[in-house]
Amino acid sequence: MNDTEASTLKRVFLYDTTLRDGSQRAGISFSISDKLKITKLLDLLGVSYIEGGWPGSNPKDCAYFKKVRELDLKHAKIAAFGSTRRTGQTVEEDSNLKALLDAHTPVVTLVGKTWTLHVNEILRASLDENINMISESVQYLKSHGREVIYDAEHFFDGYLADPQYAISTLMAAYEAGADAVVLCDTNGGSTPDRIGDIVQTVRSSFPGLLGIHTHNDSELAVANSLAAVQAGCSQVQGTINGYGERCGNANLISIIANLQLKLGFNCVPEEGLRLLSQVSNKVCEIANLNPDNHAAFVGSSAFAHKGGIHVAAVEKNPCSYEHIDPEVVGNRRTFVISELSGRGNVRVRAAELGLKLQGNEKAVLNKIKELESEGFQLENAEGTFELLVRQDDPAYQAPFEVIDMMVVSERRRGDVLSVEAMIKLKVGSEIFHTVCDGNGPVHALDGAIRKALVPAFPELAQVRLADYKVRILDPDKATGATTRVTLEATSGSDRWSTVGVAQNIIDASFRALADSYELYLLRNRATGGVMEGNHEV
């Protein structure tokens, strides 16, 4: 889409509240530095508004509003969030409104009550007093030159309880000068048909700009937001990755992709669309949360193909099993190796690794299926898959051969546990016999195999074990259960994972360990001692 085409599409203004509503998710606590980093990411993405926090609620948000003024933002306006004046106070006396002005943001978002239940039982105010609170607060902020967005809290529940009163609160904000009025599904209990019908009714008589703010308590926040836009809303509020209190807020990542790619609305620049995956993952990292690999559009598995029939079709035409080109949102297509794979999976994945199978796809596939039947899982250890492909090469020569392995664990000197590993292996015609102590059997084995191999292969000194995972495959067999061990190793920017399976956890660990070192050496041999790129498998 070029700039001319984008300008002809209906504009939807994106309002991000990750820094306030998103931070209310259990387990998230953004520092000031975190909030500034996310602010820059959101501006790069191309959102119109960034809600920075509630300046009257805590010192951190007050500090953020001072710091954010130093940023040179290209797309976004910063908004401060707060509530209408308190009951029984004038706007000049209200400390919350003063804090909003002291934040010196170009935009202020005010939240007010729409639902008679909240007015009567939470505010304990009269219905007329609530109308006055809304009107006077908006007028006061407008008189100080602020753009004012009014969030009609619990609007859809309020509309169902008393539609006339709910709409009167919107009109109070609009007539007082609010630049936009946002309809909030605060409890997250509405459905798309209800949202669409109510927004359409409001739109037919309301003269101002309407927005939508939904929560995900019914797993419908994105669908509800899309329904509201189709019914007449031109501002959408949400958070990156749907972070928020309880079940979260509407996920702006999915909203952007659906509005722009599916429904023909203009939300962000085209270059912003290609940043969706990057922004999603970086905000995960800043929030110290694991990314959802299966998230729509941006998850690492969003365009992962596992079934052999699917892979064969995608090879011919990606549209056969993909609803969009993954690169449009900054993602990529992947092919998963498992017992469900076909020869196409093997061929394509090998090609991605720069390997040629020379027509031996079936032999490798049969080996994969045999291993998976034993409990191996190559889907999460594609280093083992790569090793199988390399071992199938007619020119394959094992860099080393393990002859014996033994681990001894005993207590000495009271409660001190001693672990010792012994390795005998062959490199060419030379046999190495090494012993190493460790703080556990895997640590000792790693030390022993390194002692044996590093003299012959000094490059192995760069390899480090980064992760170690254990899975019991048949827990009903208790101590006789089969164990699966997955190891992740690194060398510089290269990462690879290998898997071992056995009834003995030490045997499973050693197999994964030995395969990890062999794969590294085979890669190194293939590149003449210079590792290629970033093999993150």
Give dist(CA 520, CA 490) in Å, integer.
Answer: 10
Q: Give the domain CATH number at 489.
A: 3.30.160.270
Q: Using 50, 70 and 90 to split pLDDT, how confident is the model at 19?
A: very high
| CA-based nearest residue to 487, from 512, 520, 461 | 512
Same-domain status, 519 and 436 = yes
| CA-based nearest residue to 351, from 308, 322, 302, 385 | 385
Q: pLDDT tens-digit profile of 129-177?
A: 999 999 999 999 999 999 999 999 999 999 999 999 999 999 999 999 9
Range list of β-strands (E), 170-314: 180-185, 210-214, 235-238, 265-266, 304-305
pLDDT at 87: 92
Residue with tokens 């209310």: 24
3-class secondary structure, 122: helix
Give dist(CA 242, CA 497) in Å, integer.
Answer: 31
Q: Is residue 384 part of a domain?
A: no
* End position of a domain, from candidates 357, 372, 387: 372
pLDDT at 229: 97
| CA-based nearest residue to 238, from 307, 182, 314 | 182
Q: Is residue 412 part of a domain?
A: yes
Q: CA 153 → CA 64, 117, 178, 185, 441, distances in Å?
A: 25, 12, 15, 7, 59
pLDDT at 534: 36
Residue with tokens 């992760």: 467
Same-domain status, 257 and 327 = no
Same-domain status, 191 and 311 = no
Range list of β-strands (E), 265-413: 265-266, 304-305, 334-335, 401-412
Q: Is residue 393 part of a domain?
A: no
Q: Using 50, 70 and 90 to split pLDDT, how confident is the model at 354?
A: low
* End position of a domain, from candidates 287, 316, 332: 287
Q: Give the domain CATH number at 280.
A: 3.20.20.70
Same-domain status, 274 and 345 = no
| CA-based nearest residue to 113, from 89, 140, 85, 139 | 85
Composition of the chain by helix, strand, coil, percent to 5: 45, 20, 35
Q: Is residue 299 part of a domain?
A: no
| CA-based nearest residue to 255, from 237, 269, 271, 281 | 237
> Are the C-beta atoms of 329 and 294 separated by less than 8 Å?
no
Share of the chain above pLDDT 70, in %: 85
Q: Pick 367 or 231 by higher pLDDT.
A: 231
Same-domain status, 332 and 478 = no
Q: pLDDT tens-digit profile of 177-227?
A: 999 999 999 999 999 999 999 999 999 999 999 999 999 999 999 999 999
Range list of β-strands (E), 413-511: 416-427, 430-438, 464-472, 483-491, 494-502
Enumerate the β-bridge partners of residue 232. Answer: none
The total of structural domains in the chain comes to: 3
Same-domain status, 461 and 368 = no
What is the spatial order of strands in the sheet that 401-412 belongs to? 401-412, 416-427, 430-438
Q: Is residue 382 part of a domain?
A: no
| CA-based nearest residue to 344, from 323, 321, 377 | 321
Same-domain status, 37 and 170 = yes
| CA angle, residues 84, 85, 90, in degrees to nearest 5 | 150
Q: Is residue 385 part of a domain?
A: no
**pLDDT above 60: residue 113:** yes
Same-domain status, 216 and 356 = no
> Are the C-beta atoms of 217 and 188 separated by less than 8 Å?
yes
Cβ contacts of 462 within 8 Å, gap of 6 or more: 491, 492
* End position of a domain, from candidates 257, 287, 317: 287
516: which 2 tokens? 């990890």
| Helix (H) and strand (E) counts in the chain | 19, 18
Same-domain status, 151 and 194 = yes
Same-domain status, 366 and 242 = no
Q: Pick 406 or 18 by higher pLDDT.
A: 18
Task: Report the residue count for the chain.
Answer: 537
* Residue 179 DSSP symbol: S
Q: pLDDT tens-digit profile of 341-350?
A: 555 566 666 5
Q: pLDDT tens-digit profile of 470-485?
A: 887 777 777 677 888 8
- What's the average model confidence in pLDDT over 230-234? 97
Q: Is residue 387 part of a domain?
A: no
Which residues span the domain enclosing 162? Answer: 3-287
Same-domain status, 80 and 204 = yes
Q: Pick 53 or 340 by higher pLDDT.
A: 53
- What's the average model confidence in pLDDT over 244-265? 97
> Are the C-beta atoms of 154 and 186 separated by less than 8 Å?
yes
Q: How buried is 415 (Cβ within 10 angstroms: 0-12 exposed, 13-18 middle, 19+ buried)?
A: exposed
- What's the average model confidence in pLDDT over 19-25? 95
pLDDT at 336: 59
pLDDT at 394: 76
Same-domain status, 116 and 194 = yes
Q: Is residue 533 part of a domain?
A: no
> Among 178-187, 251-260, 445-454, 498-507, where is mean pLDDT lowest?
498-507
